[in-house]
Amino acid sequence: MRIVLIRATEVMPDPPVEKMANTLISHGHSVTILAWDRSNTYAERGSIKKLANSETEIVHFGIPAKYSGGIKANFKGLLLFQMRIIRWLFRHRREYDAVHAFDFDTGFASMICCKLLRKKLIYHVLDYYAEGHILPGRLLNSIIEFFEIRVINSANATVICTEKRKEQIRKASPRKLYVIHNTPDSVQQMDTSFQVNGCTGKLKLVYVGVLSRMRLLKETVEVVSKMDDVEMHIGGFGEYEDWMQKAAEQYSNVFFYGKLQYSETLALEKQCDIMMAVYDPSIRNHKYAAPNKFYESIMLGKPIIMAYDTGHDDIITKNDIGILTEYSESGIRDAIYALEKRRNEWNDMGKRAMNLYNSNYSWTIMTERIEEMYRNL
């Protein structure tokens, strides 16, 4: 099957898209990726995207916009992106059989084209848009949710990334529903040449991902900056990039690596001690969050810090593979100290985490679900 994957990021990197593309290609499908380059201005630019075990064409649309700026700040860019998607899908309608759209900012335009062109549509909910983005007013929120439900109901198959999201999309009636977790493909993707900075013997805390509000990132840096025996290692991109760079220059135990390839992300996390994914539980979407960092932690056997009442907090408690914290500066400080005191238990935590990955969440299991989904379109 000829498949177009569409995502409103640069896909440089974007683990869910890259894993999906690599898996589909390895099972005989052809794949083209459409992506949004928010840092440049141009109509369209094609290139070759290298994946874990393959490569594919990626087409970028250069439309300036901010990450984590909300729909109000990015409305013009978002509208232009929709127009570029529609134009490309119509121009190339003889070159694909199915569209795999990630989230509502690609799903609505994809639904229109697939209906008119009689193509198959797979709608992949990484974040339920109405509950995961900054929307000005309840009316707009309701309108967005109405149309996202229409996309789910129209799609030939819908993908969610955790069982909990069944509750979140309960107003919709998907034709076929699949749970595909955001788990890493394998440790074989790791860049073994990547070396972590810092001092040997100090506790190394790591976060790699979007650098934005509602993740307690600035607060964690401030806490760690006052701890002599702890280091903070940060990678990623977003609205806090400049702030993180300045913090790394100001504090000797804070290290900022900028945007990392996924192979580098895994290598950095492997060389650190504790991972973190502390999301604001007051954001409804975070109650259903399935962060890559959680799945990476269980694959790598690393304890993780997450906030109470956010996605997978029950799994952490049940399996004792990390610690939960209040969403506050004092909470993150207490969580770091609590895990440091349990250093002699980290090895057992790691074994439980890796067993959990292999039995319930491995990418091998997810690949079987992807094969089934495309076979039954």
Domain containing 331 equals: 187-360
Residue 223 and residue 135 in one domain: no
Residue 153 and residue 197 in one domain: no
Q: Which residues pair with 230 in a beta bridge?
A: 203
Residue 121 and residue 20 in one domain: yes
How many domains does the chain fold into?
2
pLDDT tier at 52 (50, 70, 90 boundaries)? confident
Burial (0-12, 13-18, 19+ Cβ within 10 Å), 376: exposed
pLDDT of res. 133: 59
Residue 156 and residue 290 in one domain: no
**Using one digit for the tens of pLDDT, what is the confidence trace for 90-109?**
999 999 999 999 999 999 99
pLDDT tier at 75 (50, 70, 90 boundaries)? confident
pLDDT more than 90, % of the chain = 80
User: What three-state secondary structure class fits 47?
Assistant: strand
The encoded tokens of residue 83 equal 């127009």
**Using one digit for the tens of pLDDT, what is the confidence trace for 302-324?**
999 999 999 899 999 999 999 99
The stretches of the chain forming alpha helices (DSSP H) are 15-26, 70-73, 75-91, 104-117, 129-132, 138-154, 165-168, 217-225, 241-250, 262-271, 292-300, 313-319, 329-341, 346-356, 363-375
Average pLDDT on 222-243 reads: 95
**Cα dihedral across residues 208, 210, 211, 215: positive or negative:** negative
In 3D, which of 192, 239, 188, 250 has the Cα closest to residue 217? 239
pLDDT tier at 135 (50, 70, 90 boundaries)? low
Q: Which residues pair with 307 in a beta bridge?
A: 325
pLDDT of res. 142: 87
Q: Give pTM, 2 decimals.
A: 0.90
Residue 166 and residue 280 in one domain: no
Residue 145 and residue 229 in one domain: no
Could you give the CA distance from residue 221 to residue 205 in angstroms, rounded to a whole number?
10
Residue 88 and residue 204 in one domain: no
Residue 170 has pLDDT above 60, yes or no: yes
Residue 202 and residue 221 in one domain: yes
Average pLDDT of the chain is: 93
Domain at 223, CATH number: 3.40.50.2000
Report which residue type is found at 79.
Answer: L
Residue 75 and residue 60 in one domain: yes
pLDDT more than 70, % of the chain = 96
pLDDT of res. 126: 92
Residue 244 and residue 168 in one domain: no
Residue 200 and residue 139 in one domain: no
Could you give the CA distance from residue 278 to residue 313 in angstroms, rounded to a whole number?
10
In 3D, which of 310, 319, 238, 315 has the Cα closest to residue 65? 238
Residue 167 and residue 207 in one domain: no
Cβ(41)–Cβ(63) under 8 Å?
A: yes
Look at the block and give the residue holding tokens 């127009």: 83
pLDDT of res. 27: 95
